[in-house]
Structure 1
Amino acid sequence: MSMLPSTLRKLENERKQGGLYRPIAICTKLRKGSQPPAGKEDGDPGTEAIRRTFGPPVVSRMSDTTETSLLAGMSFLTALFEVDWQSASAILREDGVLESVTDALDLFPDSTTISRAVAALFANASGHKACRALISEQHVEWLVAKSRQPTDDVLKASAAVALVKLSRGVGTDAPQVESSGRRDASAGDDELARLMKGLVVDGQSSSSADAVEGLAYMTTDPNIKELLSNDGAFLSRLFSLVPRRKPGTTGNQSPEDIAKSPLYGVVVIIFNLCSYRPRLTDEQAQIAKLRRMANAPKNGAASEETSPLDDDEHVKARARKLVKHGALEALVAAARAADSPAVRLTVGQALLHLTEDKENRGKILQAGGSKALMRIIQSIIPTQKSTVRSSAAPHLEPAEIEPIQALAKLAITSAPVQVFGPNQGALFDAIRPLTLMLVHPTSNLLQRFEALMALTNLASHNGEVAERVARADGLLNKVELLMLEDHTLVRRAATELVCNLVGGCEEVYNKFGGEKAAASKSKLQVLVALCDVDDLQTRLAASGAVATLTTSPDACQSLLELQRERKRVLPVLGNLAEVNGDDDDEEKSVAPHPGLVHRGVVCIRNLFLSLATEAERVGIVRALVGVVQASSANLDAPALRPTAETLKWLLESGIQITV
């Protein structure tokens, strides 16, 4: 370990520069090469291996009485918290380590570097429950004092971050930790938020980064959300911390600048400020209510989950303020600059919440939000070339579906060209993720509904897009199931997608009413049944699909067979075309929808034309002409009149009759 002092300095320099790749590599190597210690099969061998490697020299330097050694030990431990917090926590909990930190403050009470190192160590350690249990009231008092001193913004920011993490962690820690006398740490949350807000507006980059981290923790509190969202100067300054990079270039920001920027913290703050409460099912809402009752504060104060400051109206107002001061441009820039999956995913989630307000959607498109979402989605979902083609959807966590949902919302309310641009390839690229959201087992009903709506809009663009939508893995089978869904809006959206695909894709047209009449018969039966439901839009979509399909003789044949079997096809089509309702029936006396009338008439006409065409094909026309010719000498023949009427109808139906 003779090389450890230089290693400590190197890792600390890399930490300050934002380049943690080397320490990550060292810890990863130690974890991979470690084995469970003898007799301790249930332990964490990786953590133990890192602790055995770095613990003794760190403890040795922190027990020294020279400022240089103390700084080396504390700086390394601070860096280790950012790389492998489990091993760093284990080292901090070793006998004498925390006492050495306290002693350092006594040995060098006027040392700015020691105070900064201690505050930074506490700021990193306070984010973890096991370490919070070690921090005493004496340490909290020291942090409070340093957060209020007026001369050193870096020290002030680190101390404030430590206090924030302590106060936010109290509610989730075990009772014995909560009762350690640090309850007052949360009493000054507003004061801490104002302090860190000021550091962001006025401070240098080093103090701003710590302040942003602290605010990222605090913005789960509705009161803090309101405080920050009402300060336009703060929002503008916060968003300016996100490095800008032009597409295809590195821009004015170097990779080191990007790494040092508080990118993740800024994105988390935006996400927290604009997040709506989860939409719960009735069962979920009841469970949440019972949980709140069990954990209700004794003083009757509203919890963060029930605060009126987090209702939809307040969230919408905050989101509009964010958009006004440049949040969209910051999110798009963050998605472009960041290589971190966590940053990109949080950007996607924030954009999802911002799309809830329809007034924001056009602004999101103008800021390049759809391209940012596609970039995020492509980083989450493996390409089809890199995966084995199968009917199973790739594994996605629920949070990873949210950027796709944001893209779907944009695709629902805008034309495909507005969302994806003139390059049709971008539109094609969107089909697969939207299909995955539709068929994935973890998607909720709202996400499936929005996927259906977006795909319907895409399929209306042109026939080539409709064909690609229809051929997406698992899509048609899922859509056919959702046409039977009890939820009216989902059933309607599925039917509208089928209507667009029937009209735009020959493969779907044939599947529902083509040559394989036996296979399509049940599908036609479902469509006819949907022509008779209460929902007008579903009836329009279903009858439109049937009207298109009845241009196929095979589909007409299947419909006639269904009429003979079920006795329902012609009555349903007749109801569509019925103009004059029964005055005694209030439901039928409502003025008919012209679209339904038109579709009904087209369906009936096509059925009759199909009958006429079939009559000609099998020789009935020739037989009828023969009857007329045979009866020419006897004009009183009883067969002559009905034969002439039939031939007249066939002639009017477009059948060529030759004598």
Structure 2
Amino acid sequence: MSTVELSTDSVPNVLDAVLKKTQDKSWSTFAPDELSVLLSAFSPSQPVAVHSKAYIVLSAYCQRRRAEASTPEEGIQSIYKIFETPTTSRIADTEEREVVAGLTFLAALFDVDHLSASNIFQRDGVLESIMDTLDLFQASHDVDLAVAHLLGRAAGHKACRALLGADHQKWLEWKSRQTEDSELRAAAAVAMVKLARGSSVDSAESGGSTEQPMEDAELAALMKGLVVDSPSTSSVADAVEGLAYMSTTPSVKEMLSKDTTFLTKLFALVPRRKGAPAPSMEDLAGSPLYGTVVVIANLCAYRPRLSAEEAQIAKLRRMAKTPKTAGQSAPKDSVDDPLDDDEQVRERGRRILKAGAMEALTSAVRATDSRAVRSVVGKAILSLVEEKENRGMVLQAGGAKALIIIIQGILTPLKSSGVTKAPQLEAADFEPMQALAKLAITASPVQVFGPNEGAIYDAIRPFSLMLTHPNANLLQRFEAMMALTNLSSQSPETASRIARADDLMNKVELLMLEDHTLIRRAATELVCNLVAGCEEVFDKWGGDKKSGSKSKLQVLVALCDVDDIPTRQAASGALATLTASPDACGSLVELQAERHRVLPILGQLIDPAVVARPPGDVEDGGEDEELQTDPGLVHRGIVCVRNLLYGIENQAAQMEIASEANRVGLVRALVLAVKGCAQNPSSPILRPAAEALKWLLEHGVEVTV
């Protein structure tokens, strides 16, 4: 099969016309000349701009076919049928130009729709035709390079990988060792990496074994050298792609992270200048940008945090894969590799930050709107901010702004589509939100979001989604609450916007009852801040008796009696604010009459050695244990007692509470607190404690100093 050679000027015009046609609902397929142009557009004789446009056309067509198909399999078959014959006939041609066109097109199809490309690759005789081209055009750089790229694409998919045998490996190894052609060397090395890594996974799944022609260190060193020294853009892109695969190995991570020259060259591949040409999603296959951010993410990635149950399951799986043949070595597992310990990962993170990793990551976000690139950047920044000492450097390099851009890209389509509750978010979507939350926890809102309050308001939605969404994990919910607690202290308007976020308050109230200490603490601290900063929450939690808040007050009182001091501080802080309302005081008096726990618990905040712990303690076995206290708890407890006493409006209730306060030892605790201020007359607890004792004296309680 032969086609007429097209001028470089006519190809883009034809592609533009085809792309316009794909937007027409009545259009169904390519005209013969249009199909011929598309299949030739990926040839090395065409400029990069034509390759990019061809990717867009091919992607648009494949998306159209998949969308119109009634089943995924039907969509794959429709794409396969239109491209199978013209592609395989070109590969089997005797003219070099046609052969290269067929090989490069099939490699591009793997990038856009790998399932249909795999079907073509697996067709009887296709792989043989591909390898025959090497004999037919023995001195052709273009053919060798196209075959290496195509084998690399195929090696990334299990069904195609199964067809690649020892002869294919030997050819790739041979081409990866030659030094005359750096482009071919890089492409062959990448194919070898994909084939070796994929074969290892296949072998592990089947319980067999596989041999790797070249060691990881040798391959990694080869590709690292290409990044540092190669003048060819395409060979650098191939080398970066190979390192993206190899940098999951701990030993390779260590080697790469310690080479400052390599890191400088790698990070320089990301466009820094504003307005620099940005690769589109369709052009990422030929760009080192995606591979660069993947390498950065791999270098600083921590091992997955497993629960005890998950760790046990992983251990059993590793045991099941242990070879039973005598003398056969066990497979390497990075889970047990000391080079992947948390301390080693932290050190790698420090090294790459020092070399300029954050500048590269933030530039990558500005350089492209690719969801794939931005998702990996979010993952990388999340790993880097795991270490608190790194967070200042991340903020200085514009990490927060980059994360905000990534998050906006995730949430804007949801907002425009009218999705407001439980939108479809994947685990990866929460990673940039979690990274931003970590920054917002340890720095002031102004440092993270700048002086513009609108940016702070915009952060509320992602944090509230991470808190309420069913796909978020417990750690993400915890960090979302911590970040929102910090934001809520910024202004009453911010606190009010947080409180009005969809389902947020209901979720927080449930998490206040969690058994996990840190989750319970974070939820209580958030409520404390919202009670103080938002009038609506204040009314709902006790400021307005019509709100039915007695059960909420009961929860706060109970949380003042747990063993965790920060939780008690938050709960008693909320009570100290709420007891400024007579309605809240009335509800607390009712709770004291019903359960006889309010006064003893408030007294325990002031002096647990004097006030007996109330019966029916929420902590198992806690009745005989003395709670710890601190100056913050003493202050909050005294303010709560003072406000409660002066907030009681019913005279009979006043006398009953006065008697109860004396009986449980609360009066004695107040006296000792006042005595403790003898050497510190400016103590903030002195005045409210004295006012509380004055009220008790006025209501018939004998106060002995």
TM-score in same-fold range (> 0.5): yes
Kindly tell me: are residues 497 and 301 of structure 1, through their superposed partners in 2, closer, same or farther at Cα, counting changes over 3 Å? same
The residue aligned with 1:458 is 487
Match of 1:274 among 289, 300, 313: 300
Kindly tell me: are residues 578 and 103 of structure 1, through their superposed partners in 2, closer, same or farther at Cα, counting changes over 3 Å? closer
The residue aligned with 1:602 is 639
Match of 1:283 among 291, 309, 313: 309
Q: Secondary structure at the match of 1:422?
A: coil
Match of 2:377 among 347, 352, 360: 347
Q: Distance in 2 between matches of 1:594 and 1:568?
A: 22
Match of 1:368 among 374, 398, 406: 398
Q: Distance in 2 between matches of 1:176 and 1:226?
A: 28
Q: Distance in 1 between matches of 2:484 and 2:631?
A: 26
Q: Which amino acid aligns with 2:568?
A: R
Q: Which amino acid aligns with 1:6?
A: V
Q: Distance in 2 between matches of 1:210 and 1:147?
A: 12
Deviations 1:321-371 (A, max 9, x none): 111111111111111222211111111111111111111111111111111
Q: Distance in 2 between matches of 1:546 and 1:256?
A: 54
Kindly tell me: are residues 649 and 115 of structure 1, through their superposed partners in 2, closer, same or farther at Cα, counting changes over 3 Å? closer
CA shift, 1:28, in A, is 2.7
The residue aligned with 1:554 is 583
Match of 2:235 among 195, 207, 211: 207
Q: Secondary structure at the match of 2:201?
A: coil
- Are 1:263 and 2:275 counterparts? no
Match of 1:563 among 580, 592, 595: 592
- Are 1:218 and 2:246 counterparts? yes
Match of 1:381 among 411, 417, 422: 411
Kindly tell me: are residues 589 and 560 of structure 1, through their superposed partners in 2, closer, same or farther at Cα, counting changes over 3 Å? closer
- Are 1:240 and 2:247 counterparts? no
Q: Distance in 2 between matches of 1:166 and 1:254?
A: 27
Q: Which amino acid aligns with 1:137?
A: A
The residue aligned with 1:327 is 357
Q: Which amino acid aligns with 2:647?
A: S
Q: Secondary structure at the match of 1:242?
A: coil
- Are 1:190 and 2:190 counterparts? no
The residue aligned with 2:424 is 395
The residue aligned with 1:642 is none
Note if contact 1:517-1:558 (Cα within 8 Å) is conserved in structure 2. no
Note if contact 2:280-2:369 (Cα within 8 Å) is conserved in structure 1. no
Note if contact 2:545-2:584 (Cα within 8 Å) is conserved in structure 1. no
Q: Distance in 1 between matches of 2:68 and 2:279?
A: 34
Q: Which amino acid aligns with 1:116?
A: L
Q: Which amino acid aligns with 2:58?
A: P
The residue aligned with 1:645 is none
Kindly tell me: are residues 25 and 313 of structure 1, through their superposed partners in 2, closer, same or farther at Cα, counting changes over 3 Å? same
Q: Distance in 1 between matches of 2:129 and 2:279?
A: 38
CA shift, 1:26, in A, is 2.5
Q: Which amino acid aligns with 1:268?
A: V
Q: Distance in 1 between matches of 2:518 and 2:490?
A: 22
Q: Which amino acid aligns with 2:38?
A: T
Kindly tell me: are residues 610 and 492 of structure 1, through their superposed partners in 2, closer, same or farther at Cα, counting changes over 3 Å? same
Kindly tell me: are residues 107 and 176 of structure 1, through their superposed partners in 2, closer, same or farther at Cα, counting changes over 3 Å? farther
Kindly tell me: are residues 465 and 2 of structure 1, through their superposed partners in 2, closer, same or farther at Cα, counting changes over 3 Å? closer
Q: CA RMSD in A?
A: 2.9
Q: Secondary structure at the match of 1:27?
A: helix
- Are 1:477 and 2:519 counterparts? no
CA shift, 1:555, in A, is 0.5
Match of 2:255 among 224, 227, 231: 227
Q: Distance in 2 between matches of 1:255 and 1:535?
A: 52
Q: Distance in 2 between matches of 1:607 and 1:335?
A: 54
Note if contact 1:196-1:215 (Cα within 8 Å) is conserved in structure 2. yes
The residue aligned with 2:180 is 151
CA shift, 1:651, in A, is 11
Matched residues, number: 609
Q: Distance in 1 between matches of 2:305 and 2:207?
A: 31
Kindly tell me: are residues 52 and 177 of structure 1, through their superposed partners in 2, closer, same or farther at Cα, counting changes over 3 Å? farther
Note if contact 1:24-1:83 (Cα within 8 Å) is conserved in structure 2. yes
The residue aligned with 1:294 is 320
What 5-or-longer segments of structure 1 have no aligned partner?
37-42, 619-647, 654-659
Note if contact 1:296-1:303 (Cα within 8 Å) is conserved in structure 2. no
Q: Which amino acid aligns with 1:574?
A: G
- Are 1:28 and 2:56 counterparts? no
Q: Secondary structure at the match of 1:442?
A: coil
Q: Which amino acid aligns with 1:347?
A: V
Note if contact 1:116-1:158 (Cα within 8 Å) is conserved in structure 2. yes
Q: Distance in 2 between matches of 1:531 and 1:617?
A: 23
Identity over aligned pairs, percent: 57
The residue aligned with 1:100 is 129
Q: Distance in 2 between matches of 1:176 and 1:275?
A: 24
Note if contact 2:589-2:653 (Cα within 8 Å) is conserved in structure 1. no
Match of 2:145 among 116, 131, 145: 116
What 5-or-longer segments of structure 2 have no aligned partner?
1-31, 613-622, 655-693, 700-705
Q: Distance in 1 between matches of 2:460 and 2:635?
A: 32
Q: Distance in 2 between matches of 1:256 and 1:455?
A: 34
CA shift, 1:389, in A, is 6.8
Note if contact 1:405-1:447 (Cα within 8 Å) is conserved in structure 2. yes
Note if contact 2:148-2:172 (Cα within 8 Å) is conserved in structure 1. yes
Deviations 1:284-337 (A, max 9, x none): 111111111111354135412321111111111111111111111111111122
Q: Secondary structure at the match of 2:548?
A: helix
Q: Distance in 1 between matches of 2:203 and 2:608?
A: 71
Note if contact 2:467-2:480 (Cα within 8 Å) is conserved in structure 1. yes
Note if contact 2:176-2:185 (Cα within 8 Å) is conserved in structure 1. yes
CA shift, 1:178, in A, is 9.4
Match of 1:86 among 115, 122, 135: 115
Deviations 1:57-78 (A, max 9, x none): 2222222222222222212222
CA shift, 1:188, in A, is 2.1
Q: Which amino acid aligns with 1:299?
A: S
Q: Distance in 1 between matches of 2:553 and 2:343?
A: 45
The residue aligned with 1:656 is none
Q: Distance in 1 between matches of 2:332 and 2:62?
A: 44
* Structure number, greater radius of gyration: 1
Note if contact 1:58-1:76 (Cα within 8 Å) is conserved in structure 2. yes
Q: Secondary structure at the match of 2:335?
A: coil
Q: Distance in 2 between matches of 1:383 and 1:467?
A: 25
CA shift, 1:34, in A, is 5.2
Deviations 1:64-110 (A, max 9, x none): 22222222221222222222222222222222222222222112222
Kindly tell me: are residues 29 and 388 of structure 1, through their superposed partners in 2, closer, same or farther at Cα, counting changes over 3 Å? closer
The residue aligned with 2:557 is 528
CA shift, 1:18, in A, is 3.7
Q: Distance in 1 between matches of 2:277 and 2:376?
A: 24
CA shift, 1:274, in A, is 0.8
CA shift, 1:386, in A, is 2.8
Match of 2:339 among 302, 305, 309: 309
